[in-house]
């Protein structure tokens, strides 16, 4: 007599897909939220366990350097300067894991953007002390710690009004979907983009009106969406060669590999766009200040 199949772990690719298959077909067709929730779970599983398993993968120094886009010499330098935690030792062999790889990619990205090793060490130290690395770098996806980069925050409407500080601005943000009002007579507010509100409030400290900031958000959003669609289309074309609409799904391991590719694609796409945008903004600011100074000094 064969042993019964062991049920899939709920926090695995197979577990998420098994739960989705248990949902009646009619419900799956009529409720897109069911599919969307499962998709979010799939990405969260792959982000937490890049190898598809709960155990972290391990790498020798050569493999770690190759995957991190650097050299073994640099890995040793980063380790000696306490930028990388010590590896696990098995005899004379040093073994690194996915935590080391994520940290190494972060270090490489920061150095490529012009930071010094001293700056990198200071920022990583701040991160380890509990500060938000995205806030420090201005790069939300510097590491793929979670698929959903921003979690909605639910507060009372009174608190939302206090944070916005302008009833008309609040109504505009509700219309844009940045804030959602729920509960009896809209007594509860869900801030879908809390980091955007934080950024607004910080910039307002320089005297820029919140209405102006919302105008800028409205004007840039279509362009950002267009860039996103262009970038994601490249990854989607690859996925669609593996998963055909209406055809049976491939093996769980292949699905995990595809989602893992998209997670890495997201991180690198955000990093490249952020670096390009930062460079463009810096050049624009320098040109503007140069013009202002020249205008003042020549007249």
Q: Which of 287, 167, 156 is nearest to 295 (CA)?
A: 287
Q: How many CB atoms lie within 10 A of CB 61?
A: 19
Task: Report residue 221 CA to chain centroid gap.
Answer: 18
Using pLDDT thresholds of 50, 70 and 90, give the confidence band for residue 115: confident
Predicted confidence at residue 197, as pLDDT, reads 92
Predicted confidence at residue 164, as pLDDT, reads 93
Work out the average pLDDT over 10-32: 69
Q: What is the pTM of this model?
A: 0.53
Identify the weakest region by mean pLDDT among 20-34, 122-136, 254-268.
122-136
Report the alpha-carbon distance of residue 18 to residue 30 in Å, rounded: 19
Using pLDDT thresholds of 50, 70 and 90, give the confidence band for residue 55: very low
Report the alpha-carbon distance of residue 148 to residue 141 in Å, rounded: 10
Work out the average pLDDT over 181-201: 88
Report the alpha-carbon distance of residue 104 to residue 294 in Å, rounded: 43
Work out the average pLDDT over 172-185: 89
Place of tokens 């799904």: 249
Predicted confidence at residue 137, as pLDDT, reads 47
Rg of the Cα atoms in the chain: 23
Report the alpha-carbon distance of residue 60 to residue 96 in Å, rounded: 6
Angle in degrees, CA 269, 71, 43, rounded to 5: 35
Reported in sequence order, the residue ranges of 76-206 that DSSP labels E, i.e. its strands, are 88-90, 93-97, 153-156, 179-182, 188-191
87: pLDDT strictly greater than 50: yes
Phi first, then psi: give them for residue 90, nearest 5 degrees: -125, 95
Predicted confidence at residue 147, as pLDDT, reads 59
Cβ proximity of 15 and 9 under 8 Å: yes
Angle in degrees, CA 27, 15, 233, rounded to 5: 75
Q: Is residue 100 helix, strand or coil?
A: helix
Work out the average pLDDT over 95-104: 81
Using pLDDT thresholds of 50, 70 and 90, give the confidence band for residue 222: very high
């Amino acid at each position: 007599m064969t042993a019964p199949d062991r049920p899939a772990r709920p926090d695995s690719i197979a577990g998420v897909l098994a739960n989705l298959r248990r949902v009646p077909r009619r419900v799956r067709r009529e409720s897109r939220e069911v599919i969307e929730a499962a998709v979010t779970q799939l990405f969260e599983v792959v982000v937490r366990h890049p190898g598809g398993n709960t155990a972290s993968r391990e790498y020798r120094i050569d493999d770690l350097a190759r995957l991190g886009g650097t050299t073994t010499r640099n890995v040793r330098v980063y380790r000696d300067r306490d930028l990388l935690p010590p590896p696990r030792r098995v005899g004379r062999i040093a073994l690194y894991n996915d935590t080391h790889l994520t940290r190494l990619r972060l270090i490489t990205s920061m150095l490529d953007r012009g930071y010094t090793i001293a700056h990198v060490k200071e920022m990583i130290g701040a991160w380890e002390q509990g500060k938000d690395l995205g806030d420090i770098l201005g790069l939300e996806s510097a590491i793929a710690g979670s698929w959903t980069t921003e979690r909605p925050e639910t507060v009372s409407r009174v608190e939302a009004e206090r944070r916005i500080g302008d009833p008309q601005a609040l109504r505009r943000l509700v219309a844009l979907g940045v804030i959602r009002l729920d509960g009896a007579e809209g007594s509860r507010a869900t801030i879908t983009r809390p980091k955007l509100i934080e950024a607004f409030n910080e910039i307002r400290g320089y005297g820029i009106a919140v209405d102006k900031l919302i105008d800028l958000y409205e004007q840039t959003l279509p362009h950002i969406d267009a860039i996103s669609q262009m970038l994601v289309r490249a990854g989607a074309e690859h996925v669609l060669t593996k998963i055909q609409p209406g055809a049976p799904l491939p093996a769980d391991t292949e699905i995990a590999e595809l989602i893992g590719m998209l997670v890495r694609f997201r991180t690198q796409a955000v990093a490249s766009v952020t670096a390009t945008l930062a460079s463009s903004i810096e050049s624009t600011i320098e040109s503007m200040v140069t013009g202002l100074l020249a205008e003042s000094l020549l007249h």
